[in-house]
DNA sequence: AAGGTGGTAGACCGATCGGTTTTCCAGCTT
DNA sequence: AAGCTGGAAAACCGATCGGTCTACCACCTT
């Protein structure tokens, strides 16, 4: 094994892919992607069957970190369910304040590739499913009247806010936490 | 003037542009666009300076119809402000039920062209501004505690719902009207 | 030291990109 | 009927698309 073996080549490629696809969109060319990763097209096509697979793998790779950021401390010290939900929106607002923020990468992928069958769309839907499930679980724990409804409402707020903030149409200073709070209260969640 | 004079050529082009850009995204090529419009590339480039300008003009062209659909009956018989707001979400839910629904075209344009300076992004932001203003005006009429906040919250719901329904991640049967109602109540709007 | 392995660089493929230009024709004017 | 106008068709431009392939090089094994 050389210093740039298969694994590290793959890592460099996926890291660069996540960064450039997020910054410039899924229409970035394979040439530019490989250049920014320091990986030859040859190597890329030995690791992946197509550009779409690279995109899907790059989205999948950052998913655990994404989830950990929104839902830290998987169990004990995580705090009461209401706090855990509001933490998601606090993180969203904090991230959206950075100038490089371009919205949730999973929602962006779903919108840009209009094809729901695209491998990256499948990964993106999985990310959305995970967050929906997180909200629903917390809603159940908190005794919400209709946990599924509340979770879906919170997803509307999350995705609406990330799309609008990413497109620089809105600045989220406290907006999503205020909105989420109103919905939690309306759902009778403690 | 022939039967296909300058005006009707322009109309055909913009109609086809609105349709194909909405269905397939802004990455559709000029070749395919002109073919579907029955307009030569020559004519297109005599009417517009670039593909981006065609996109912007096509979005601008359908804006009055878009606004009229969401806010019918500009003045008298339009009903109380609460109803007028809920009508927006009822229309959104109805539109999103159609299989060809791909989300709000203005939000999609903002997400796909990540450049806020793109001429089409300017038009799209204008459409979003208009809806925000509509919500705020109705919120004021209805005596909401914080009309601006309520309007921004409703925009989150609207854009989140259109993005999710357009990406086929969500089905909006009553979801947005229920959410909007909760927010209207929380804002103390009559 | 010889050979194998696994990577980069980049030429190359046909197709398509946005955009320009030429050619031709239909229909109007006079 | 001759001439003008404006649009359609399509060739053409250089660049880039996704993807393949050759050439070469650095390192590891033996």
Specify the number of domains making up chain B. 2
Q: Are residues B181 and B152 in the same domain?
A: yes
Percent of chain B with pLDDT over 90: 91
Does residue B109 sit within a domain?
yes
pLDDT classification of B3: cutoffs 50, 70, 90: very low
Domain's final residue, options B58, B80, B97: B58
pLDDT classification of B5: cutoffs 50, 70, 90: low
Q: Are residues A70 and A140 in the same domain?
A: yes
Residue nearest D17, CA–C1′ metric: A29
Chain A nearest CA to B174, separation (Å): 10
- Pick A170's closest partner by Cβ from B25, B108, B152: B152
Q: Are residues B47 and B140 in the same domain?
A: no
Question: What was the pLDDT predicted at B18?
Answer: 97
pLDDT classification of B9: cutoffs 50, 70, 90: confident
Does residue B1 sit within a domain?
no
- Pick B186's closest partner by Cβ from A108, A170, A185: A185
Q: Are residues B167 and B105 in the same domain?
A: yes
Q: Is the pLDDT of residue A147 over 80?
A: yes
pLDDT classification of A5: cutoffs 50, 70, 90: low
Spell out which chain A residues touch chain B, with contact meaning CB-CB distance below 8 angstroms: 23-25, 27, 102-103, 107-108, 110-112, 114, 116, 121, 125, 128, 149, 152-153, 155-161, 163-164, 166-170, 175-176, 178-179, 182-183, 185-187
Q: What is the pLDDT of residues B122-136, one digit of tens each?
A: 999 999 999 999 999
Are the beta carbons of A35 and A13 closer than 8 angstroms?
A: no
Q: Is the CB of B3 under 7 A from strand C?
A: yes
Which chain A residue shows the shortest CA-CA distance from B153? A179
Helix (H) or strand (E) holding B183: helix B175-186
C1’ C25 / CA B35, Å:
19
pLDDT classification of A9: cutoffs 50, 70, 90: confident
Chain B nearest CA to A38, separation (Å): 25
Are the beta carbons of A102 and A122 closer than 8 angstroms?
A: no
Q: Is the pLDDT of residue A8 over 90?
A: no
Are A176 and B156 inside 8 Å of each other by CB?
yes
Full domain range(s) for residue A164: 63-186
Q: Are residues A80 and A38 in the same domain?
A: no
Q: What is the pLDDT of residues B11-67, one digit of tens each?
A: 999 999 999 999 999 999 999 999 999 999 999 999 999 999 999 999 999 999 999
Are B107 and A167 inside 8 Å of each other by CB?
yes
Question: What was the pLDDT predicted at B2?
Answer: 41
Q: Domain of B52: which CATH number?
A: 1.10.10.60
pLDDT classification of B102: cutoffs 50, 70, 90: very high
Q: Are residues B48 and B78 in the same domain?
A: no
Q: Are residues A77 and A105 in the same domain?
A: yes
Mean pLDDT of A128-152: 98
Question: What was the pLDDT predicted at B4?
Answer: 47
Residue nearest C27, CA–C1′ metric: B2
Does residue A1 sit within a domain?
no
Which residue, among B157, B47, B102, B116, has the nearest Cα to A167 in the 3D structure? B116
Question: What was the pLDDT predicted at A2?
Answer: 40
The DSSP 8-state label assigned to residue B25 in this structure reads: -
Q: Are residues B35 and B71 in the same domain?
A: no
Are the beta carbons of A37 and A17 closer than 8 angstroms?
A: yes
Q: Are residues A79 and A138 in the same domain?
A: yes
If you count residue pairs, one on A and one on B, with CB atoms under 8 Å apart, how many are there? 119
Q: Is the pLDDT of residue A119 over 50?
A: yes
Task: Report how far residue B79's alpha carbon sits from residue A68's, in angstroms, rounded to the nearest whole number.
Answer: 47
Q: Are residues B73 and B33 in the same domain?
A: no
Are the beta carbons of B58 and B21 closer than 8 angstroms?
A: yes
Q: Domain of A119: which CATH number?
A: 1.10.357.10
Question: What was the pLDDT predicted at B75?
Answer: 59
B1, B12, B43, B46 from B8: Cα distances, Å: 11, 6, 12, 14
Q: Is the pLDDT of residue B74 over 80?
A: no
Task: Report how far residue B187's alpha carbon sits from residue A28's, in angstroms, rounded to the nearest whole number.
Answer: 44
The token pair at A89 is: 């929106």
């Amino acid at each position: 094994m050389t210093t740039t073996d298969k694994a590290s080549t793959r890592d460099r490629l996926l890291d660069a892919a996540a960064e450039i696809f997020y910054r410039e969109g899924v229409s970035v060319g394979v040439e530019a992607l490989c250049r920014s990763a320091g990986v030859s097209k040859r190597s890329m096509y030995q690791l992946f069957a197509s550009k779409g697979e690279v995109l899907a793998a790059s989205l999948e790779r950052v998913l655990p970190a994404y989830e950990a950021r929104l839902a830290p401390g998987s169990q004990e010290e995580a705090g009461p369910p209401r706090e855990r939900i509001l933490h998601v929106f606090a993180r969203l607002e904090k991230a959206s304040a950075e100038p490089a923020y371009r919205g949730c990468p999973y929602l962006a992928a779903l919108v840009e590739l209009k094809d729901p069958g695209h491998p990256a769309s499948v990964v993106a839907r999985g990310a959305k499913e995970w967050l929906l499930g997180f909200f629903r679980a917390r809603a159940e724990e908190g005794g919400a009247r209709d946990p599924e409804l509340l979770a879906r409402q919170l997803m509307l707020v999350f995705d609406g806010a990330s799309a609008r903030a990413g497109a620089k149409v809105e600045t989220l200073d406290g907006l999503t936490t205020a909105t989420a709070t109103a919905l939690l209260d309306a759902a009778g969640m403690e």
